[in-house]
Structure 1
Amino acid sequence: MDITHLGHAAVLVETGDARILIDPGNMEAQWHELVDLDAVLVTHQHADHLDPARFPGLIKANPGAALFVEPSIIGLAGTEVTGVGTVPEMPTARPLPPGDKITIGALTITGVGGQHAIIHRDIPQIGNVGYLISGEGEPTFFHPGDSYEYVPEGVDVLAFPSYGPWAAMKEGIDFAREVGATRGFPIHDALLSEPGRNMIVARISAMTPTQLTDLRGAGPTAF
């Protein structure tokens, strides 16, 4: 399995017969020209995970890609959402709720979770579905979206959300310990300074079983 961190929460997962993009948001541009995708997955409605301006172009450039999203996104398509803008129309999208499984090539993708982490008590929680990706002879990869709450079993590689309005270091350490992956890389990091990113990578690597490697600019990395 090759994994490319395309900035913030956007991740490209590639195997011999599958090419899967997760969370093409508006805080990065590296995914804008991607083609030949087999699937696009979206964890939740926030614009840093689903870019309302560029997402339609991505789908047009990848007409053969299956599109799976957190279920509430389908009902919101075409409407204005605070902090998001207009949620793109996506007539071919299919919901992937927690516990459901799909197959892309030889990979199995399982929905995990259900709700976005609490940002503030005055801000209603929204849906959030993480994705557990596994296959015979491949490591099991987990992209949790925006939540530290849900912990699947058997994770080998963790996309670790490093910082956000909802995240705290103490919770992130406990989350990484519970997941127990031996390897990982930081995501959700667009709001971090360079020293801040380095601090989080060092702290998680020192205090949990997960050794984080910064994949920015590294291109496809084999796991």
Structure 2
Amino acid sequence: MRVTKFEHAALRLDHLGQTLVIDPGSFTTPLDDLHDLVAIVLTHEHPDHWTPGHLDRMLRDAPGTPIYAPAGVAAAAGDYDINIVRPGDTVTVGEFTLRFFGGDHAVIHSSLPHVDNVGVLVNEQLYYPGDSYAVPEGVEVDTLAAPLGAPWLKIGEAIDFVLAVAPKRAFGTHDMTLSTIGRTMHQQRLQWAAEQGGGAFVDLQPGDALDL
């Protein structure tokens, strides 16, 4: 399986001729060559994780592709057929097995409404928590897509998250809100955290891929 990082929170996974896309949002350039797309995962309803434009393009290239997301996305994306998933659910679609964790978006501020969020574990290899620090309990994570920057993110909490997951390998995502200097600084902090559990940190730029 191969994961390719795109701008901000978008990930593309390719495995045995099939493709899965996670969280193509407003900070992400249009994805192409998606004729082998078998599923789309949206971790939550915020526009930096999905847009109608992205969904329309992907569904035009691969009509009927199922979309998996929590109930909040189904409410926000009423024009689309959303398969609602909850923490504890497992879905198999094509060559991908998806396990969902968490349930809640990290708190930005008490004045803002509650938002559903699911983390997703793909083929027992790649874990992406969406906008949360949800730890997949009982799972030995091979590769972690770790958020680097967000209105809800405090770098000390992000470090603790990586320490708790203790992946064999990690890379940064959710990073378009950071300057180059800030991104580098946060990567260094999460690199330290990954190394404490014997793991490694990989610097993936948009378009870079990693074989899992």
What TM-score do you get using the length of structure 1 for normalisation?
0.86
C-alpha deviation, 1:57, in angstroms: 2.4
Q: Report the counterpart of residue 66 of structure 1 in structure 2.
A: 66
Provide the secondary structure at the position in 1 that maps to 2:161.
helix
CA distance in 2, matches of 1:222, 1:53: 29
Greater mean deviation of Cα atoms: 191-200 or 62-71: 62-71
Contact 1:130 1:145 in 2 (8 A): yes
Q: Report the counterpart of residue 164 of structure 1 in structure 2.
A: 150
Q: 2:127 aligns with which of 136, 142, 145?
A: 142
CA RMSD of aligned residues (A): 1.7
Q: Is the aligned partner of 1:90 residue 2:80?
A: yes
CA distance in 2, matches of 1:149, 1:112: 7
Provide the secondary structure at the position in 1 that maps to 2:37.
coil
Greater mean deviation of Cα atoms: 160-169 or 100-109: 100-109
Instruction: Indicate how the Cα distance of structure 1 residues 107 and 57 shifts in structure 2: closer, same or farther if over 3 A, else same.
Output: closer
CA distance in 2, matches of 1:77, 1:6: 22
Q: Report the counterpart of residue 114 of structure 2 in structure 1.
A: 125
C-alpha deviation, 1:30, in angstroms: 4.3
Contact 1:17 1:105 in 2 (8 A): no
Contact 1:39 1:65 in 2 (8 A): yes
CA distance in 2, matches of 1:133, 1:68: 13
More helix by share: 2
Counterparts of 1:1-40 in structure 2 under 5 Å?
1-31=1-31, 34-40=34-40
Provide the secondary structure at the position in 2 that maps to 1:68.
strand
CA distance in 2, matches of 1:108, 1:75: 25
Contact 2:18 2:36 in 1 (8 A): no
Greater mean deviation of Cα atoms: 18-27 or 52-61: 52-61
C-alpha deviation, 1:211, in angstroms: 2.5
C-alpha deviation, 1:66, in angstroms: 2.0
C-alpha deviation, 1:195, in angstroms: 1.4
**Residues 19-45 of structure 1: CA deviation (Å, up to 9, x unaligned):** 100001010104256332111110000
Which amino acid letter does the alignment assign opposite residue 94 of structure 2? G
Provide the secondary structure at the position in 2 that maps to 1:172.
helix
Which amino acid letter does the alignment assign opposite residue 90 of structure 1? Y
Instruction: Indicate how the Cα distance of structure 1 residues 45 and 215 shifts in structure 2: closer, same or farther if over 3 A, else same.
Output: same
Q: 2:170 aligns with which of 184, 190, 194?
A: 184
**Residues 168-212 of structure 1: CA deviation (Å, up to 9, x unaligned):** 011001100111102111100001111111111111112333422
Q: Which runs of 5+ in 2 are unaligned?
A: none
Which amino acid letter does the alignment assign opposite residue 198 of structure 1? T
CA distance in 2, matches of 1:41, 1:192: 24
**Residues 65-114 of structure 1: CA deviation (Å, up to 9, x unaligned):** 22111122213334xxxxxxxxxx113x2111111111123331011110
Structure 1 stretches of 4+ moved >6 Å: none
**Percent of aligned pairs sharing the same letter:** 33
CA distance in 2, matches of 1:57, 1:218: 19
